[in-house]
Amino acid sequence: VVILGIETSCDETSAAVLLNGRDLRSHVISSQITTHQKYGGVVPEIASREHSLHFQPVVQQALNEAKLTFRDLSAIAVTYGPGLVGSLLVGVSGAKAMAYAAGVPLIGINHLEAHIYANFLEHQDLKFPLLALLVSGGHTHLILFEAHGQYTVLGHTRDDAAGEALDKVARTLGLGYPGGPQIQRIAQEGDAQAFNFPRAMLEPGSLDFSFSGMKSAVLNTLNSARMRGETLSVPDIAASFQQAVVDVLVRKALLAIKETRVKTLLLAGGVAANRLLRETLDHKLAEKGVCLVYPSPIFCTDNGAMIATAGYYHYLKGDFAPWTLNAVPGLGLV
């Protein structure tokens, strides 16, 4: 089974060719980060234009590196939501045109599901039921994953996503976009105990998250220091905020494990690349005999390989999309 996976939901144009769900034959990612950096975040209109420019060359390069043509493909899998509508439409219409011309089936992929499926690319025998902590730029979800395609959202953020909070704090600290990797980098030089930022845990037993107040606490600390004419240590703020975000994610994950008694936790989404999060969870879960699984960093942030991986499992079920497939910017997981 040869799947071409295509991702254009945000600011990465990416394509990958995947053989039998495991053997990645090519993986091309064209990132627009440098384009959006000067605006401090993704500008939707610019993102769609960039996708239009890069879509065809990226797909062609993925096929060339895999030494294949369209006709060798079993199916073309493409993200149809959630994401920026203009960006999604470039991928969806391009994939449709190619699939139709090549006479191969089209598979519509939910971007959130694909983040979770990134784990299946590198880990052979994941046994259901699984628990997933999806932490990305737009989402923070705890998910019970009982079988392929079967999800129950146990908790989600009530305001900002974890990645969004990291991005906003980084922006205020003048660290640039995307903020998560910058916070991680500069936090190495800081003291994580320097500031005791709040850890929003919500009602006892709740598996929901809230990062907006935590983010505001950092901004308030910075503002009051500024009014007193003091300057605070950026590495200390970054380290302390990263620690607060990780503490909440770890505590909620442990609570979900306790409630569901699931023996494997999957990390997914861009924030899953965070070293402190991985190391803290690794340590805490080992004590409990729970297995922690996460993708390599390149498969945590947006990429075509995860789309191809999710596509493979849809292909096995014969789960194909109609030619009327449309972009669904607000698509949820269930």
Binding site for ligand ATP (CB under 6 A): 10, 82-83, 111, 115, 136-139, 163, 166-167, 178-181, 184, 269-271, 273-274, 301-302
The minimum distance between CB 31 and Mg ion, in angstroms, equals 7
Tell me which stretch binds Fe ion (CB under 5 A): 61-69, 121-129, 163-171, 298-306.
Answer: 298-306
Terminal Cα-to-Cα distance of the chain (whole angstroms): 27
Is 135 annotated as a binding-site member? yes
The minimum distance between CB 34 and Mg ion, in angstroms, equals 12
Tell me which stretch binds Fe ion (CB under 5 A): 65-73, 118-126, 134-142, 222-230.
Answer: 134-142
**Cβ pair 16, 24 in contact under 8 A:** yes
Q: Judged by CB under 5 A, does residue 302 bind Fe ion? A: yes
The minimum distance between CB 299 and Fe ion, in angstroms, equals 11
Beta strands 75-81 and 140-147: pairing type?
Answer: unpaired
Placement of tokens 């922690």 in the chain: 292
Distance, CA of 108 to CA of 101 (rounded, Å)? 17
**Cβ pair 162, 211 in contact under 8 A:** yes
The H or E element spanning position 334 is none
Q: Judged by CB under 5 A, does residue 273 bind Mg ion? A: no
Take residue 262 and report the two structure tokens written for it. Answer: 């699931």
Is 332 annotated as a binding-site member? no
* Footprint (CB under 5 A) of Mg ion, residues 6-45: 10-11
Is 334 annotated as a binding-site member? no
Q: Which is nearer to ligand ATP, 63 or 161 (CB)?
A: 161
The minimum distance between CB 136 and Fe ion, in angstroms, equals 5
Binding residues for Fe ion, rule CB under 5 A, total 2
Cβ burial 314-325 (10 Å sphere, 16+ → b, else e): bbeeeebbeeeb
| Cross-strand partners of 248 | none
Residues 6+ apart with CB under 8 A from 57: 30
Q: Judged by CB under 5 A, does residue 136 bind Fe ion? A: yes
Cα torsion at 120, 297, 216, 81 (round to 10°)? -50
Is 27 annotated as a binding-site member? no
The CA-atom distances, in angstroms, between 107 and each of 4, 223, 265 are 10, 49, 27
Q: Which is nearer to ligand ATP, 86 or 105 (CB)?
A: 86
The H or E element spanning position 186 is helix 179-187
* Helix ranges (DSSP H) in 67-110: 85-102
The minimum distance between CB 146 and Mg ion, in angstroms, equals 29
Q: Which is nearer to Fe ion, 90 or 234 (CB)?
A: 90
The minimum distance between CB 171 and Mg ion, in angstroms, equals 15
* Footprint (CB under 5 A) of Mg ion, residues 301-330: 302
Q: Which is nearer to Mg ion, 11 or 113 (CB)?
A: 11
Distance, CA of 263 to CA of 3 (rounded, Å)? 30
Which residues participate in the annotated binding site? Answer: 111, 115, 134-138, 167, 180, 274, 302
Q: Which residues bind Fe ion (CB under 5 A)?
A: 136, 302
Which residues participate in the annotated binding site for substrate? Answer: 134-138, 167, 180, 274
Q: Which residues bind Mg ion (CB under 5 A)?
A: 10-11, 302
